[in-house]
Amino acid sequence: MIAYQFIDHTADIGVEIYGRTRRELFTNACRAFQDLSLDRKEAVTGREDVLWEEKITVHGSDIADLLVNFLRELLYELNAKKRVIILCAIAAVSNNKLTARLLFESYSPKRHTLKAEVKAVTYHGLCVEKTGSAWRAKVIFDV
Amino acid sequence: MSDVFLEKLDDHRWLVPQSGRMRVPGIIYADEGLRDLLHHDDSIRQVANVAHLPGIVNYSLAMPDIHWGYGFPIGGVAAFDLETGVVSPGGVGYDINCGCRLMATNLTLSDIKDRISDITNSLYGKIPSGVGSTGHVKLSVRDQKKVLEEGARWAVKAGFGSGQDLETTEDGGCLTGADPAQVSARALERGKNQLGTLGSGNHFLEIEVVERIFDDTAAQAFGLRKDQIVIMIHTGSRGLGYQICDDYLALMVKHQQETGIELPDRQLACAYLASPRGRNYLAAMACGANYAWANRQILMHITQEVLEKTLRMAPRELGMRLVYDVCHNIAKIETFTIGGIEKKLCVHRKGATRAYPAGHEDIPARYRDVGQPVLIPGDMGTGSYVLAGQEKALAETFGSACHGAGRVMSRTQAVKSSRGRSISRELADRGVLVMAGSKGTLAEEMPEAYKDLNAVVQVVHEAGIARKTARLKAVACIKG
């Protein structure tokens, strides 16, 4: 199963995300966001790169809202705090609540190339659905 | 692909008939050629979706540069009754007060023909651009609050430009009702180091030459003449604006059920204008708008300094002056005549420019005989247009015109079709020097990714919304 794929939208960028479980879906959403936002120029080397470890809790009125709120957190970490996620471990995820452990390194132009200025995660055309035994989500980012 | 049928009204207007839960019909401004492009995406459906919102007046409108946005289409215009209507952050967009600023100079193309590379390099070096760019203006908490309250006025007081610039900025560069208390800590943090930066994507600074004058009287009033060098800046409220929109959209999505309004798309989340949530959004949005005006004012000042230094010219010799500054992502309370009665409405312009006609009291005295300057940037290879607002804008489009050419190709398609090509070389062959932070941006923003600006402008000209005044050709372009 592929983790995610980018899809066409006239002005912005959409992504379809897949997962066998909710946890995998949200982990892949994090990967897709990272891929859309930046490139890492080198592999993580040594402990000195790991600067923060944080537990986050995100709420949503339903699973689609939860996904948007989760991605909004990731976007804020990168754009405002200049922190790049190097590991996202989803501890628990239901339709309304997610807890995760995130490991960050600081953004550095030497190590990272920002690919797109992601302005926001939109609700437009948002969907999260379970078809058969797998989850599929569609999110459009404003870039 | 859109499944909505369009009914032809005349050569420039197409009706989106009222159906289902639409409260009013829609009208799209387009000629036959531009109409054909509409069926490639979902933008017509978005015009219909906006018509579902409570308190919408007359029509859900779209300008000829319409393209698929999120929630509202880009190029969308909709006005709402202050008592029964709503405000929707998605109807303004994430980049609050994204807009254009046009500066005239005393230079002609022959004066700088051999210096274009020097000037562009110097501008590229001094004007922070690109993804996540940060600026040289460091603000204390107190100053940041002042920026949000006062906009370009703060910038002028801080030494960026002169008081004259405010006269030729929409709303004097300061939207009233701004309340920094309604702006989140997250928004303040995202905007903290970004004042005086261009950003990335379709934002740019362009050196242009006046290629053709269509209307001598208006051009003269705007201080434009053939072969003159002018500078166009296109940017907005940066991370601060994005976060304000994001915060209020999330809040409105969360509380949408309480309003009892059924929406065809969550991105249309809204609040009644008369409700505390609606008022708070407008107060926060005004802060974003003011930040954007301060941003463009600072960028103009940096540009002037760079030109003076590079060309070793005194300010009087260079003669840089602001022709006009307009926003094209905003919701504003403006007065219109509806059914013979003057009424205050909240007009949303999402990728649409205000275009007030001659005689309107809200345009600068020096332009009042010819109409408000309407600045319409095109793609990198084409340049821009300057138009003058006309009567039909007030009568039909809540004083609005288009804001650009409008995308026709997705970013992914553009990148694909640019493979194996050098976009910067192609532009150089067309006489445009381009400097960009990344090849990706250049590919995404390639000329073919946009509709034909000439066709788009011709529609608003022939429809009597705004009159063609001058065409500007790009000479050099800085992209983020």
Which CATH number is A101's domain given?
Answer: 3.55.10.10
Structure token pair of residue B60: 């859900």
Tens of pLDDT, residue by residue over B143-152, are: 999 999 999 9
Tens of pLDDT, residue by residue over B173-184, are: 999 999 999 999
Tens of pLDDT, residue by residue over B261-277, are: 999 999 999 999 999 99
How many angstroms separate the CA of residue B397 from the nearest CA in chain A? 23
CB-CB neighbors (< 8 A) of B76 in chain A: none
How many angstroms separate the CA of residue A5 from the nearest CA in chain B? 12
User: What residues 84-143 of chain A have any CB closer than 8 A to a CB of chain B?
Assistant: 114-117, 119-126, 140, 142-143
Contact assignment for B132 to A117 by CB distance below 8 Å = yes
Which SS3 state, helix, strand or coil, does residue B24 take? coil
Query: Cα–Cα distances in Å, from A28 out to A17, A52, A101, A116, B363?
Result: 7, 21, 15, 19, 51
Contact assignment for B250 to A69 by CB distance below 8 Å = yes
Q: What pLDDT is attached to residue B409?
A: 86
Structural domain boundaries of chain B?
7-479
**Local confidence band at B107 (pLDDT 50, 70, 90 cut-offs):** very high
Structure token pair of residue B412: 């992914």
Structure token pair of residue B479: 């992209």
Neighbour-count burial for B95-116, b at 16+ CB within 10 Å, e otherwise: bbbbbbbbbbbebebeebeeeb
Q: CATH: 3.40.50.300, 3.50.50.60, 3.90.1860.10, 3.20.20.210. Which one for B7-479? A: 3.90.1860.10
Based on the structure, what is the number of domains in chain A? 1
Is residue B267 within 8 Å of B249, Cβ to Cβ? yes
CB-CB neighbors (< 8 A) of A62 in chain B: none
Nearest CA-CA partner of B95 in B297, B380, B291, B332? B291
> Which ipTM did the prediction report?
0.86
The structure tokens 């804008």 sit at B393
Q: What pLDDT is attached to residue A50?
A: 60
Tens of pLDDT, residue by residue over B312-366, are: 999 999 999 999 999 999 999 999 999 999 999 999 999 999 999 999 999 999 9
Residue B317: count of CB within 10 angstroms of its CB: 12
Residues of chain A with pLDDT under 70: 42-50
Q: pTM for this structure? A: 0.94
* CA B200 and chain centroid, separation: 15
Q: Which domain holds residue A83?
A: 4-142
Structure token pair of residue B86: 């709503």
User: What residues 31-60 of chain A have any CB closer than 8 A to a CB of chain B?
Assistant: none
Q: What pLDDT is attached to residue A42?
A: 65
User: How many Cβ pairs within 8 Å bridge chains A and B?
Assistant: 100
Q: By CA distance, what is B265's nearest residue in A?
A: A124
Contact assignment for A80 to B186 by CB distance below 8 Å = yes
By annotation, the residues of B acting in catalysis are 403
CB-CB neighbors (< 8 A) of B67 in chain A: 10-11
> Residue B211 class from Cβ within 10 Å (0-12 exposed, 13-18 middle, 19+ buried)?
middle
Tens of pLDDT, residue by residue over B380-402, are: 878 899 999 999 999 999 999 99
Structure token pair of residue B183: 């702006």
Contact assignment for A10 to B254 by CB distance below 8 Å = no
CB-CB neighbors (< 8 A) of B199 in chain A: 117
